[in-house]
Amino acid sequence: MLQYERIAHSKITKKFRAEGQQLLFSRGKGGEVSDANGVPYIDFVMGYGPVIIGHSDDLFNEILGGYLTNGIMMPGFTTFHQEYLERLLGERPGDRGAFFKTASEAVTAAFRLAAMRTGRLGIVRSGYVGWHDSQIANSLKWHEPLHSPLREKLRYTDGMRGIGESEPVLNWVDLRLESLSELLERHRGRLGCFVFDAYLASFTTPDVLRQAVAMCREAGLLTVFDETKTGGRISALGYDHDNGIGSDLIVIGKALANGAPLSILVGGADLLAHAERARLSGTFSKEMIAVYAALATRDILEKPTQDAPDGWAEVGRIGTEVAAVLSAAAKEAGVADLLGARPVLGGGMFELVYHDEALLGDKERREALLGALTGAGILLLEGHPSFVSLAHRDLDWSDFHDRARRAFQDWNGADRG
Ligand SMILES: Cc1ncc(COP(=O)(O)O)c(C=O)c1O
C-alpha cells in the first residue's frame, strides 16, 4: 500500500474518497485523472483552477520541453520573464508586473504596498484572498555573520501586518455599497487597502464594483482586484480589465501556466517602483519553469480555435456546456427541484446551485453528493466553483451525462433509503 499517510493534508487536499479511502492520484491526461489503482475520473477540479489546457497536453509538453534547454534559474530575471509580461500586459502600457509563485504571496505583496503607500494597515476584504501572515516584519539581516554590524538593525518595519494592534481586517460581507460605506466611515483613518476576490463579481454587477472601488479610493485606500481564480481563465487578464473596474493593483494566478506555480501582481509603474524597498521577492520569484509554462499556455490559448476567437472563449463555451449537462442530468434524475449547475463568469468555471433551502443548509447531504459524483467517476467541487480546461472539449458527453444522472439518482435514493 502506498504511504500517503506521510503527507500532511489540509482540508482541501483530502476532499475525494472512494470506498472510504482517500484518493491518491497518479496520472492525468487531458480532462481526466487516474488514481493509484488506475481508476479514471473526469476531472473538474483541475488542481483547483490552474490546469486550463489539460493534463499532460502534447503540444504544451513539447513547447515546455523546448524551453527547458535554456536552464531553469539564472542570477536574475530573464528575457523570458520580460517577454511574458510584454505579452500579458500589451494592452496596459503603463503597467508593470512582479513575479511570485503563489497568489498568497502576491496578495501579501499588495497589502504591503498599500500599507507603505497609505501608512495605514487596516484592510477591507471580500472573499478568500490567500493564507499568509507576516513573516518578515522587524527581522534582522539574518545572513550576516553574528558579529556583523549590519546584522542587528531591525528591517522591514513599515508596511507590515500581524505585529500591532491597529490593523483591522474587515469583511465586506453583503456586497451592498451602503455597508461598504459604513465600514469606511466607522474605521476612517485606519484602512489602507481594499481587496476583492473577483469570483464574487458573479454575485453583483460591474457597476456596483466600479462604485465600490471609487468609494474606497475616495477614502484613501489602495484597491486590489484579486483575479487569482479568474485572471487567465475567464479571459487573458480577467474581470477588472475586461469591465474597466479600475483597481490600482490586480493579482493574477492559478490558470496562467497550466498548473505550474506562477502568480503576478500587476499595477502602475509608480506603485510597483516600491517593490524593491518593500522587498517583494524571494529565491524562486525568478524561477523559469513556470514562465516557460506560461509562455506555452499563451501560445496555445491565444490562437483561434474552430469555434471561438481564442482559447479563453472556448474554455467558457465548454464550461457552459458542462453546466448545462449537469442541469439536464439533474432533471432526468428527478432532482431538478433540489439542484442544478450554472456557468460562472462566462463558463471558465461552473458551480452547483441548490434550489432547496433545506439542502443548502445541509452540509452532510451536500458532501454526500460529492461522494456520489466521485462514485460515478466525476470529480468536482461543491461550495466552490469547479474548473474546466480546453481538453474537456474531447469529453464523451453522453457518457458524462449518464454518469451525472446516475450519481444524482444514487444520491437521492440513498437519501430516501
Ligand atoms: C481569490 C484567491 N486569492 C488568493 C488565493 C491564494 O492562492 P494560492 O493558493 O496560490 O496562494 C486563492 C486560492 O484559491 C484565491 O482563490
228 within ligand 1 shell (Cβ under 6 A):
yes
Question: From ligand 1's centre to the CA of 190, what distance in Å?
Answer: 25
Q: Measure the CA–CA gap between 199 and 226, rounded to whole angstroms.
A: 9
Q: Is residue 49 part of a domain?
A: no
CA atoms within 13 A on the CB side of 329: 27
C-alpha cell at 388: 474546466
Nearest atom within ligand 1 for CA of residue 226:
1
Nearest atom within ligand 1 for CA of residue 107:
4
103 within ligand 1 shell (Cβ under 6 A):
yes
Say which DSSP state 303 is in: S
Answer yes or no: do 229 and 330 share one domain.
no
Where residue 144 sits, what CATH number does that domain have? 3.40.640.10
Q: Measure the CA–CA gap between 188 and 175, rounded to whole angstroms.
A: 19
Using the Cα atoms of residue 75, residue 76, residue 81 and residue 83 in order, give the sign of their dihedral: negative
Answer yes or no: do 68 and 189 share one domain.
yes
Look up the domain containing 381 and give its range.
Answer: 4-43+305-416
Question: From ligand 1's centre to the CA of 256, what distance in Å?
Answer: 13
412 within ligand 1 shell (Cβ under 6 A):
no
Whether 155 contacts 177, CB under 8 Å:
no
Residue nearest to atom 13 of ligand 1 (CA): 130
pTM of the model: 0.91
Phi, psi dihedrals of residue 17, rounded to the nearest 5°: -135, 150
Answer yes or no: do 160 and 81 share one domain.
yes
Residue nearest to atom 11 of ligand 1 (CA): 104
- Burial (CB count <10 Å: 0-12, 13-18, 19+), residue 350: buried
Answer yes or no: do 26 and 105 share one domain.
no
Helices and strands, counts by H and E, the chain: 13, 16
351 within ligand 1 shell (Cβ under 6 A):
no
Buried b (16+ CB within 10 A) or exposed e, 90-113: eeeeebbbbbbbbbbbbbbbbbbb
List the chain pLDDT tens, one digit each, 417 residues. Answer: 455 578 887 777 778 888 888 889 999 999 999 999 999 999 999 999 999 999 999 999 999 999 999 999 999 999 999 999 999 999 999 999 999 999 989 999 999 999 999 999 988 988 888 665 544 445 555 456 656 666 467 766 666 556 556 787 788 888 999 999 999 999 999 999 999 999 999 999 999 999 999 999 999 999 999 999 999 999 999 999 999 999 999 999 999 999 999 999 999 999 998 888 888 889 999 999 999 999 999 999 999 987 899 999 999 999 999 999 999 999 999 999 999 999 999 999 999 999 998 998 888 998 999 999 999 999 999 989 999 999 999 999 999 999 999 999 999 987 554
107 within ligand 1 shell (Cβ under 6 A):
yes
